[in-house]
Structure formats: structure tokens, C-alpha cells
Structure 1
Amino acid sequence: MRGIISTAGYVPYHRLQRQAISAVFKGAPGKGSRAVASYDEDTTTLGVEAARFALRAAPADTQPAALWFATADPAYLDKTNATAIHAALRLDVATPAIDMGGAVRSGVGALRTALEGRGPVLVVTSDTRNGAPTGADESSGGDGAAAALVGDDSDGPVIAEYLGAASATEEFIDRWRTPGDRVSKVWEERFGETQYLPLAEQAWNGALKAAGLSPEQIDLLIVTGLHTRAVRSLGGRLGASNAATVDDLSATVGNTGTAQPLLLLTSALEKAEPGQVIALVVLADGVEVLLFRATDALQSYRPARPVATQVGAGGDVEYGKFLAWRGMVTLERPRRPEPDRISASATGRNTEWKYGFVGSRDRSTGALHLPPARVSRDGDAQDDMEPAPMADVPGTIASITVDRIAYSPSPPIVFAVVDFDGGGRHAVELTDTDVGSLEVGDRVEMTFRRLFTADGIHNYFWKARPIRA
């Protein structure tokens, strides 16, 4: 049996209330909210968080033999983005990390390819959706990521058995964005609907035939895609009369594009019962239909951080700040030097610390050093250290300071000295919080973020955020 061993979504903390858009531009009041990646998040950092949650829920002895990363909004072109995720997860150097991106369809494509392959594969999908101010994409889009560890039952308990799939592909112009453009362009909706619906019916029938199922045997139905009109029209045409439609999270998160299929599948599995058949229908430059059956292993499966929990733990961001974070408006920069680009050679010497947040522990005294050191502060032992991974270790705030002078893409900077559980202390930057909202004694956890970008090079490192769930 092959299928999904563990899966997780990541929904950023910040929310943009749609009525905040209409309040500025005096349009029709929108309902609900969309998830917003913070100024220090991009598709790579979002993907790291989803992958961490997925691996945390997987059996400890199951390690991916490959990492595939799909996004329509990569942080780099030419350079592989999956390698940063690989480094943050501290995967084995022999584990390949490959980008499968450039289009929204690449997310479900990476998932299907892994399901029809061999060995344990970690599939990571991520996206940040942009739109012109007051446009439909701005309000209906969302930022987020999802990851799944795919494998055989010999790799670990399979919680969702892969039953089969089918595709229907045809070239037509529906949505496009050329390199350098910030937002997508969309053709007239009725045309896209006439293209998608017959393709969807063809792929639907093909998938059911491949799995030996009838429409009435579908218990949970997921229909997703960026073409809202076609998605809404399709649901009643599939004949799945007994199926419950899975919440598309449009009212709380928005459409996360490349990540949406796996994010909704993750959400569905968090509520599914063993034996239920789940159909995933994805409209994106054609149609992909994937069928799964929840297994008995789902009863004992515990997600690291359920999607519903993350959805309920968000905090609002002002519309003006959202526009600034997205580069839609240009704010006056602080009158101080911007940071220099990071050194590739220095980064190469400190990959475990910079990407993996790995300190060192003195074997003789147990003293923990952050950053790693060769000489122990206790007893002066030299080169007698063992690696101490700290990315998943929570901590407690010992002191807080607010710096309104140092450079930041979104000032001010809030720093904290954190005492980690089990030993170790380090000064870190706080994120996903407001000035004055945290106090000494509050609990925090580490999160992978982008400190700044200089000369086109992203400086990734770890920050601390409040433990909310």
C-alpha cells in the first residue's frame, strides 16, 4: 500500500480582513479574511514550517529519501530553493532536493508524482498570492504551505491510501504571469469555464475507472483551483451525491494557489474517518483528480499542528502594512545604512548553525553553546562537543528590548534573550508579535525566517515567535 504517511499545513499568523480593503477604497465591503505572509516570510520559509510539522507527525525512524518543492512564486530563479528547506530540516546530504515549480499545477503534480513513485518522499508546496489593490486576486488569494510525507506501508503507517488518479490537459489561456510581473492576468471567466468543465468530467471519469469506484462511493469531495467560477460550477456535475464538500478555507485563509490542493487534503484528513474515500479535484491549466481512502492508521495519527488550530490563531494586519510588505507601496526607508549582502563562504562554513539552528554541547559538562563553540565555557574543554539541534526546542523569554534604530524591513525590531528548555541561552529576534504584547516569562518557539535581502541574496535565519497553539 502506498499513500500519505503524514501531512501538515502552515497558515501564517497574520490576517487581512477584507473589509479593511473596502474601507480604504470605498468599495463593496468584503467578508472574511485572507492569510498574509509576514514581511520576513517567503515561499521557502513557509515551506520549511509546513515540512517541519509534517516530519514531526511522522514516525521518528522514517526519513525522506527525496525532497520535492513546488511553488509558483519562488524566492530564487536559477538557484534551487529546495536546498534551503533541505538545510533547515537537516536532511542527509545524500537526499536530493529538487524544485518542481513555476506554475500552480506543479503542487498537485509533485504530489501525484511522489504517490506513483518509490520510497519515502517529502512533498512541500507553498505559495504567496498577489493581486492588484482592490482586485479579486488580492482579496481572494491567500498565503500558505502544505507538506506531505509520501511512502509505502513499509516506511510507516499510511493514513491515506492512494487509490488512483487521472489527468486531462489542454493548452488554453486562462491565467498567466510573465517573469518580473508582480500580479497575474486573467482572461474572461466564461471562456475558462467552458474549457475546464469538459476536462474535469473527463479526468473525473478516468480516475473513478482507474480506482474501480462509482461517484456515489465518494465520501469527501475537494474541488479547488484559481478559477472560482469553474470550481463552483463543477461541484454539482460530478454525481458525488453522497459526498460532503470540504471547506475550501476561502473565508478564513483564501486560495493559496500551489499549496491549496495539499492544504485542503490535509484539512480533510484531520476530520476524516477510517474507510472514507476522498476525491481531490484540481483545476489548473487542465485537471488533476486524485483519489484516497482513509485507513485505520488515521485513528492513532496525531497532527503536529492542525490546520483548524492555525486558522483560529491568527491576528489582524493593517491594510497599509500589507501593501508595504508586498511592495505595492514604497515607504521612506530609515536613514541608516542598509545591510550588506551575506558572505557565501562564511555561510558555507556555518550551514548547520545558520540553517539548522544547531548548537554544541560539551560532552564532559553538558554545557550548551549557542552559537556552537569549540571551547567550553565550563572547564575549558576543547573540541569535545556534540551537535545540539535546537530548532524544535521551546524556550522562555528572560528579557526583552525594542530597537527603533537598527535596520529592519518593518521596524522596530523586538529582541529577546531566550532561555531554552534543557539549557542554552541566546538573543533572538521576535516575530509575529507586536511591541508590548510579550512579557518576560512568556513561552516562545523557533521559526525559520528571512532576515533581509541584499543584492538579491536572501539572508535566512531563525527567529522566535509566541507559542499560541
Structure 2
Amino acid sequence: MGADPAQLQDTLLSTVGDTGSASPLMMLVAALEDAKPGDKILVASFGNGGDAMFFQVTEKIKNVADKRAVKKHVAAKKDLASYEKYLAFRNLAPMDLGMRGEISIKTPMSALFRERKVILSLCGSKCKKCGTPQYPYQRVCVNPDCGAIDQMEDYRFSDKKAVIFTYTGDNLAASIDPPSIYGLVDFDGGGRFWFDFTDCDLDSVKVGMPVEMTFRRRYVDEPSGVHGYSWKAAPIRA
């Protein structure tokens, strides 16, 4: 194509790895981090076919200048403690999870569809009468001084910061990375719920620690090939 090597985007193979079909889109995001209004970006990918997309950067790029994208995520990465952990996370080595590992945590598709806003969008409710938010969605306001019924509006928790109210480390729960750490978090502006914690170890977790919500894989159902996702709480990264 005659492009100058300096114009080619880093493939991220040395810092992130091979992300498969997501790779060209991640490279696009990385390119946009350094882009200026008027820049032209060509995205080309191949594999079981080929795609090419052409973009021109507008002034609106300035509106997302402070967003956490590829660079900040790579800078805040958490290294695995051992190669054995890598094998476990990638399902490359058999793990004995004991009797508790035999219990299915797969979410039925009917329930996932019915509660998709709650499970996948982390959408709760906010009382129109007193303004009290709560997760998951409630028909009755949890504020004891209110108690309004069916006066709720949707309220998004996915972008809200929170602090840890209480937590525990469970060495008996089935986990490829024991102990399982979970507990209650209090959201800024109101709302409290139980979440699994991620990107942390038990020694670093403290009551009152600021956390944010992150969308992560929760399970893989091998017979059906279904990957289940849900929201977890993670320490706030830079």
C-alpha cells in the first residue's frame, strides 16, 4: 500500500496478546487515543473474509480525550502470580474444584432474557417520589420514610463509583483463583448490593476502598459452549 511504517498502528501483541476478531477494533481505539481532528484512519482486517473501513477524525474526538481506553488499561494491568494461574484461566490445565465445582451456576436463557436489563445493563430503580436508588429493580421504595409503590424509573449503576461496605474471602467456594472475594458495596448517590470482587487480592481489600463496576466473564458452560457475563466490583485504576 506504500504506507510509511511510522503510520502503522501497534498490533498490541506484546502488551495485550492475540485478541482475535477484537484485535482491529482495539487497534482502532488505540489509534483514536492519539488522533487529532482531520486525521484519516484506515482499518483493514482479514480472516475468513476481509473488511476495510475508512474514518476521518472530527472535532468531537476532544470530548473523549480523558476516557480510559487502551493505554490506561495496559498501564493498570495486573500480572498473574504464576504460569499455573495462566493455565487455569485459559482452561489449559484441569482444575479440581471439589464438590462445589459440580454445582451449575449457568443462568437459564429464559431468566437472562427476562432480567437482561438487571443482569447485563446493571439497571436498577430510582424512586420518583424521594429519589432513592436501589439495585436490583424494586417496585416498592426501600426508603423507610417513603415506601412509594410503582413510582420507579430506570437507574443505571454501571457508571457509578462505590465503596466497599463489607467483604469476605471464601476459600471453600469453587474458584480457579481462590479465595473468592465478595461483599457489599455502597454506590455513590445511594444503593447497596452484593458483588464478586476482581483484580484484587484479599490482603489489599479494605472496608471503605473505592471500587468501580466492570463487566466480566462469570462462567463457561462447556456442554453448551455458553459464556456467562456479569458485573463485578474492582479497585479503581488510574
For Structure 1 versus Structure 2, the TM-score category normalised by the shorter chain is 0.7 to 0.9
Residues 1:319 and 2:86 are matched in the alignment:
no
**Code of the aligned partner of 1:446:** M
Q: State the secondary structure of the residue aligned to 1:266.
A: helix
Paired residues of 1:360 and 1:387 also in contact (CA < 8 A): yes
Match of 1:262 among 8, 17, 25: 25
Q: State the secondary structure of the residue aligned to 1:316.
A: coil
Which position in structure 2 is the counterpart of 1:419? 186
Residues 1:356 and 2:121 are matched in the alignment:
yes
Matches of 1:301 and 1:387 in 2, distance apart?
A: 25
Which position in structure 1 is the counterpart of 2:200? 433
Deviations 1:266-312 (A, max 9, x none): 21221123333334343535665544433344345425213111111
Residues 1:328 and 2:97 are matched in the alignment:
no
* Correspondences of 1:68-79 after superposition (within 5 Å): none
Over aligned residue pairs, what C-alpha RMSD do you find? 2.6
**Code of the aligned partner of 2:193:** H
Matches of 1:319 and 1:389 in 2, distance apart?
A: 38
Matches of 2:53 and 2:160 in 1, distance apart?
A: 37
Residues 1:395 and 2:162 are matched in the alignment:
yes
Which position in structure 2 is the counterpart of 1:450? 217
**Code of the aligned partner of 2:140:** V
**Code of the aligned partner of 1:358:** C
Match of 1:461 among 220, 230, 235: 230
Indicate the structure (1 or 2) with the bigger Cα radius of gyration.
1
**Code of the aligned partner of 2:156:** P
TM-score normalised by the chain length of structure 2: 0.83
Match of 2:16 among 215, 229, 253: 253
Residues 1:371 and 2:136 are matched in the alignment:
yes
Number of aligned positions between the proteins: 232
Deviation at residue 445 of structure 1 after TM alignment: 1.1
Compared CA separation, residues 368 and 296, structure 1 to 2 (3 A): closer
**Code of the aligned partner of 1:320:** E
**Code of the aligned partner of 2:201:** D
Deviations 1:116-139 (A, max 9, x none): xxxxxxxxxxxxxxxxxxxxxxxx
Paired residues of 1:363 and 1:386 also in contact (CA < 8 A): yes
Compared CA separation, residues 438 and 347, structure 1 to 2 (3 A): same
Q: State the secondary structure of the residue aligned to 1:423.
A: coil
* Correspondences of 1:90-101 after superposition (within 5 Å): none
Deviations 1:134-168 (A, max 9, x none): xxxxxxxxxxxxxxxxxxxxxxxxxxxxxxxxxxx
Q: Percent identity?
A: 37
Which position in structure 2 is the counterpart of 1:385? 152
Paired residues of 1:409 and 1:452 also in contact (CA < 8 A): no
Paired residues of 2:35 and 2:57 also in contact (CA < 8 A): yes
Compared CA separation, residues 278 and 412, structure 1 to 2 (3 A): same
Deviation at residue 406 of structure 1 after TM alignment: 2.5
**Code of the aligned partner of 1:380:** G
Deviation at residue 444 of structure 1 after TM alignment: 1.0
Deviations 1:175-221 (A, max 9, x none): xxxxxxxxxxxxxxxxxxxxxxxxxxxxxxxxxxxxxxxxxxxxxxx
**Code of the aligned partner of 1:413:** S
Match of 1:284 among 21, 27, 47: 47
Residues 1:302 and 2:69 are matched in the alignment:
no
Paired residues of 2:42 and 2:55 also in contact (CA < 8 A): yes
Matches of 2:50 and 2:128 in 1, distance apart?
A: 56
Compared CA separation, residues 313 and 386, structure 1 to 2 (3 A): same
Deviation at residue 313 of structure 1 after TM alignment: 0.8
Compared CA separation, residues 362 and 328, structure 1 to 2 (3 A): same
Compared CA separation, residues 350 and 313, structure 1 to 2 (3 A): same
**Which segments of 5 or more consecutive residues in structure 1 lack a partner in the other structure?**
1-237
**Code of the aligned partner of 1:463:** K
Matches of 1:384 and 1:286 in 2, distance apart?
A: 51
**Code of the aligned partner of 2:122:** F
Q: State the secondary structure of the residue aligned to 1:315.
A: coil
Compared CA separation, residues 329 and 351, structure 1 to 2 (3 A): same
* Correspondences of 1:39-438 after superposition (within 5 Å): 238-241=1-4, 244-284=7-47, 288-302=51-65, 304-317=67-80, 318-336=82-100, 337-339=102-104, 341-377=106-142, 378=144, 379-438=146-205
Compared CA separation, residues 412 and 291, structure 1 to 2 (3 A): same
Paired residues of 1:414 and 1:429 also in contact (CA < 8 A): yes
Paired residues of 1:339 and 1:407 also in contact (CA < 8 A): no
